[in-house]
A and B are shown apart, each in its own frame.
Chain A
Amino acid sequence: DEEVHFRQRVIEVDPLEEAEFEKELKALMQESLDSRKLELRARPTINMVIPMNIFEGPTKDHHGRGGFEVESGDEMLDEEPGGSKEVRVKVLVKRGSKQQTKQMYIPRDCSLVQSTKQKEAAELEE
């Protein structure tokens, strides 16, 4: 096999550029927030019940399950060996009026996972 060596990348970002970019980004964030606050006076109705059948886990047989289907995102991706770095989560999305889940891996140290794990731990202690 041909061995390819790369020199260590040293990314030098112009601090002026960085400051300017950060300012633009903040402005865009703020503008987005403000526009929502002004426009959406009426609070939306909440429709976020987690479908019950989600707990059945992923399945390839997603026919005849009403308006809900489970799709596997990437079948080839096995769980990390030892399962240490990443955890599998189900992402809940809507496609039209249909609900779907897709599976995805997120780092174990992500705050999203952390909270769930902590809760689980807390519940176990009780």
Chain B
Amino acid sequence: EENVGDDDSYSEYGKKDISEHACRYCGVANPACVVRCNVPSCRKWFCNSRGNTSGSHIVNHLVRAKHKEVCLHKDSPLGETILECYNCGCRNVFLLGFISAKTESVVVLLCREPCLSVNALKDMNWDLSQWCPLIDDRCFLQWLVKVPSEQEQLRARQISAQQINKVEELWKTNPDATLEDLEKPGVDDEPQPVAVKYEDAYQYQNVFAPLIKLEADYDKMMKESQSKDNLTVRWDIGLNKKRIAYFVFPKEDNELRLVPGDELRLRYSGDAVHPAWQSVGHVIKLTAQEEVALELRASQGFPVDVNHGFSVDFVWKSTSFDRMQGAMKTFAVDETSVSGYIYHHLLGHEVEVQMVRNTLPRRFGAPGLPDLNASQIFAVKSVLQKPVSLIQGPPGTGKTVTSAAIVYHMAKQGQGQVLVCAPSNVAVDQLAEKISATGLKVVRLSAKSREAVSSPVEHLTLHYQVRHLDTSEKSELHKLQQLKDEQGELSSSDEKKYKALKRATEREISQSADVICCTCVGAGDPRLTNFRFRQVLIDESTQSTEPECLIPLVLGAKQVVLVGDHCQLGPVIMCKKAARAGLAQSLFERLVLLGVKPIRLQVQYRMHPALSEFPSNSFYEGTLQNGVTINERQSPGIDFPWPVPNRPMFFYVQMGQEEISASGTSYLNRTEASNVEKIVTTFLRSGVVPSQIGVITPYEGQRAYIVNYMSRNGALRQQLYKEIEVASVDSFQGREKDYIILSCVRSNEHQGIGFLNDPRRLNVALTRARYGIVILGNPKVLSKQQLWNGLLTHYKEHECLVEGPLNNLKQSMVQFQKPKKIYN
């Protein structure tokens, strides 16, 4: 049986039309039990029950808010009455009390000061000896304002004293805030952290929804603050006849990286000759010269004879976050979103191990793919038999090929279309290409905003297939398409017809595919709304957040394969608060915590065996085997001064000081940068070509400085240096280069080593090179960190820790510091 959410109280409370006079703490709305705070700016209702606190709700409010006047409900025994002294009209409830007439059953409210102490009263008909205060034992007189019944109190919200204090605090700045706003993490509150197990999908949603909201808010705030002014624009026209504006979008260290598909608004404020103008467009390309190519949506009115003085804003879209929220909701409310087994498994419930009853293929490889090794075959075989499996693919172990083989066999099982996803477009493209090579019919579904972005698998994309479907029935669509291309737009009736035809064709093509490939967020595309996928494979799943991973799963998953490597970088979470609460932990990692053992691919085909040794020992318990030999990784004719022949690696000791970069937000190290140039030049002189070299540095300041420095001071042709990729660790994840130069930058004794103290980032940095690696850094600083200390010791033991000029490298005798414990 599927779980029914046990959080009824919460949803009920949301659904109910909350009466205006309901207690703002607990929701009790019995007119006999509530009073209204009479402070004009407040006017909130509270009941006279104590709940779990020492004073009744109304008294709690009055004390916390320092409010002193109240009014009874119109349906209460006394009717709508402001409580006040009968004699002087004082309304301070902390001073009021009842007295009774000496002989008659008449009572009256009287203030303690001064009325009660006035002598004149003593001679009258009133008994002053029994002044009965309105507030007694931290509660209003129960015969004046009734205490809600036990039953009423149990059905009410159970509010704690802490919550009361918090909401009172909130009301000081936002009088309309509700208790739900308390659950929303505020400015100072830490959100509820992620758990390993969840009671049900509602609880799951309650934890993740606020985290996604936090990340979305942060993302929006950051991106929308990215306006750049005074840009110089170069105009062009694309093949599709659309206007393209080229400009340089200055980068900063704030992790905002434009990617193709991002939407920007280009503005011109106007001048004597030109009116003010603006248009939105999509980034279709980022050139090697760091120029952004923006394909504009407008069809006319471009100030093409102007080049200077443009501004650009980021147009933030909530789509990806909306889809994550949507997937969590579907997971909770739609019983058919995933199979019962997967539902309970993902939530961490005890479920009996289930095997998938499928006939296994005789061989586990697939046509068009390289032969599989033993650990890859084992992975394919076990995955096909299990409803949920994890494959860990360390660097260079062929996880794309393995994934493609799995998808091939799944598709052959005849359970319907297979959905293949990854968080990044690059990874989806790579996988789509490999799967297509097996002969399966693949449709690569791209976001509409990326249709103009060039892709290595363009022929597999849905929009391409729609345009190039060569049947006579489609001639109408083609005609309209041609017309649209030529004129830029269609008449409204033609546009309607065009859209309908296009949708039908898209659907037809998608339905006839064996495999649909898209990003995780892309799986929430409306074009897949009515599709069901029993089998889902997610590559690079360790780089996506859980809610992101959920998007492809809630389309009916019965068999799930998560591929990734939790020893490499995880998802990038920009909001620190959300990251701290655990949003950066992937579903893959949580399943590992729940005891699912990942199947590890064990043979690496990328690195020279000397380069894989340290990563294997430090990150993979020494299990990585080398599928390449030393000979296969020796580049003939390349004469580079490696200190130890057959060990194409060294740590180049740098003592230069780091500085704050010009932008003031990043770090640079000039000595290191000049040595990077010398190493690059030596590589180029020895016959290595620029595309074989990658320079990794964690700081944008250093990256910009190196690019600049090399092209100005490089000993060889400028163009050669411009073709060398200089980037952050993160942008190299999932890729490889023949030679890697890693510039660590930070030499500051006091401030730690910044970006590189994440072991997973170090793992990625160290495992990109196939033929050789050079690391530049200050061992005195780096050795304080345990993992770096190990790396330095490893290099030192192999006589690869060196200093001095490049043509005369000497072993360094620099002393290491004692490592501190890591707290990762």
**A residues at B contact (CB < 8 Å):** 4, 6, 9, 11-14, 17-18, 21-22, 24-25, 28-29, 32-33, 36-37, 40, 43-44, 46-50, 54-55, 71, 73-74, 77, 86-94, 101-107, 110-116, 119-120, 123
Contacts and interface: CB of A to CB of B under 8 A. Distances in A.
A125 B52 CA distance: 48
A106 B107 CA distance: 10
Contacts of B66: 28
Given A44-B88, A48-B121, A102-B79, A89 B107 contact: yes
A114 B78 contact: no
Contacts of B106: 50, 54, 89-92, 101
A123 B54 CA distance: 42
A88 B105 contact: yes
Nearest to B87: A48
Given A9-B150, A9-B154, A48-B108, A115 B130 contact: yes
A106 B499 CA distance: 75
Nearest to B88: A44
A113 B161 CA distance: 35
B529 interface: no
Given A21-B138, A111-B132, A13 B100 contact: no
Contacts of A89: 100, 105-107
Given A21-B63, A90-B107, A116-B100, A47 B87 contact: yes
A46 B70 CA distance: 24
Contacts of B130: 111-112, 114-115
Q: Can you list the 8 inter-chain pairs with the closest CB atoms, starting with the nearest?
A: A18-B54, A36-B113, A73-B77, A115-B130, A32-B94, A46-B120, A92-B108, A89-B105
27 contacts: A32-B94, A33-B112, A36-B113, A40-B113, A44-B115, A50-B104, A55-B104, A71-B79, A73-B77, A73-B79, A88-B105, A90-B105, A90-B106, A91-B108, A92-B106, A93-B81, A93-B108, A94-B86, A106-B107, A110-B132, A112-B99, A112-B100, A113-B100, A116-B105, A119-B102, A119-B103, A120-B103
A92 B107 contact: yes
B68 interface: yes
A49 B54 contact: no
A4 B151 contact: yes
B52 A46 contact: no
A116 B103 contact: yes
Given A13-B52, A25-B55, A123-B103, 17 more contacts: A4-B151, A21-B55, A21-B63, A21-B161, A25-B59, A46-B124, A55-B104, A89-B106, A91-B78, A91-B108, A93-B86, A94-B84, A102-B79, A104-B144, A105-B77, A110-B132, A116-B103
B143 interface: yes
B95 A33 contact: yes
Contact of A104 (B77, B113, B127, B151): B77
B814 interface: no
Which of B51, B95, B108 has the largest count of A CB atoms less than 10 A from its CB? B108
> From DSSP, what is the main secondary structure of chain B's interface residues?
loop
B475 interface: no
Given A104-B77, A119-B103, A112 B124 contact: no
Nearest to B120: A46
Nearest to A120: B103
Contact of A32 (B50, B68, B138): B68
A123 B125 CA distance: 14
Nearest to B54: A18
A36 B114 contact: yes
Contacts of B124: 46, 48-49
B469 interface: no
B342 to A, nearest CB: 35
Contacts of A18: 54
Interface centre among A36, A92, A102 (most CB of B within 10 A): A36
B273 interface: no
B105 A17 contact: no
B86 A92 contact: yes
Nearest to A111: B130
Nearest to A48: B87
